Amino acid sequence: MTLTTDAPAPRIALVGATGAVGTALIRLIEERGFAYRDVRLVASPRSAGRELEVDGRPYRVEALDTFDFSTVDLAFFSAGSSVSRTWVPSAVEQGALVVDNTNAFRMDPATPLVVPQVNAHELGRRPDSGIIANPNCSTIPLVRLLRPVADRWGIRQVVVSTYQAASGRGHSGIAELQEASRVTLADPAAQAPAEEFTPTLAFNVIPFIDELLESGFTLEEQKMLQESRKILGLPHLDVTTTCVRVPVVNGHSEAAWVECNDVVDRDELVRLLAAEPEVTVHDATTPGAFPTPRTAGEPDHVHVGRVRVAPHNPRGFWMWIVADNLRIGAALNALQIAEALTERGVL
């Protein structure tokens, strides 16, 4: 049990507790034994009154529009950018430190954007904004692998194609993919559901995630550029991305080309990546081996395979990356931020 009376343990609130990330966060709190003095589950008024369990204890979900944030020390927000923009300032004003899992405050200069394995130094004090931003689900695994590369060889350019699962749209995205697949299998000519994903995601890939920008890139693609620069502390890092939605229930994948300033030795590269915390390199001993969303294994690791230095340009290499987007890409990173804050006595 992680419920405790110890004074250093924070009182926490989970906003968006009934969503895909919120339920993943509850499971991780249980699995990792994160100590808290109190936990409050918060969601939209339509979800209020539902009962969920945390560590075997029942908790009734409370409505966000009437919740008193002065009763908690730490609030996790995982209910979407519009909800965060509306309610996070109020939570901060009432005294809560917020870990926000949306795009609402990531590029705010007063708000640190944190991946603990990369820039935990940002967590040594309470930020001026009262908010710590959780990065995008595709940015997190990428920067965790880029950091040791940048330290060793420097980076000139990163080109990434993402293959993002339906769970990136939450429970509703998963449900639509499953229903659309059922409809299409029964009758390929039938019109499958296409509200969360347009066109339908069933037996399809969609090279378009989030809104279209004037540049021709999507917001999801721009996030990966801006966030990588901020997290790594490399304001001129060249990252260009194509983000694609694929008919996978959960688990994002990425194909990344990284061009360095100096010649890269593959054996050294594999050793560096494998030495990173919670990283599994699948072709460390078996060249060509690779993870997939269904077969990767440990859900709290970043999985890497197909690591290959280009013979025609030995400063550059490819790698294939797979990570659980609900855990590593969202809930786990948020909880590891909270763990680091607790260890440092910031909460």
Residues noted as catalytic: 137, 252
19 annotated as ligand-binding: yes
Least Cα distance to 332 among 194, 154, 134 occurs for: 134
164 annotated as ligand-binding: yes
168 annotated as ligand-binding: yes
How far apart CA 277 and CA 315 sit, in angstroms, is 25
* 82 CB-near residues (< 8 Å, 6+ apart): none
**What is the Cα Rg of the chain in Å?**
20
103 annotated as ligand-binding: no
How far apart CA 318 and CA 311 sit, in angstroms, is 11
Query: Could you write out the DSSP letters of every residue in 264-278?
Result: PPHHHHHHHHHHSTT
Preceding amide of 199 cis, omega within 30: yes
158 annotated as ligand-binding: no
How far apart CA 70 and CA 93 sit, in angstroms, is 9
97-100 and 74-77 beta bridge pairing: parallel
To 5 degrees, how large is the angle CA 165–CA 170–CA 173?
65
325 annotated as ligand-binding: yes
Tokens of 72: 């908690």
To 5 degrees, how large is the angle CA 231–CA 234–CA 237?
110
144 annotated as ligand-binding: no
20 annotated as ligand-binding: yes
167 annotated as ligand-binding: yes
46 annotated as ligand-binding: yes
47 annotated as ligand-binding: yes
245 annotated as ligand-binding: yes
How far apart CA 163 and CA 294 sit, in angstroms, is 14
Binding residues for phosphate: 106
Detail the residues annotated as belonging to a binding site: 18-21, 46-47, 106, 164, 167-168, 245, 325
Q: What residues are designated binding site for substrate?
A: 164, 245
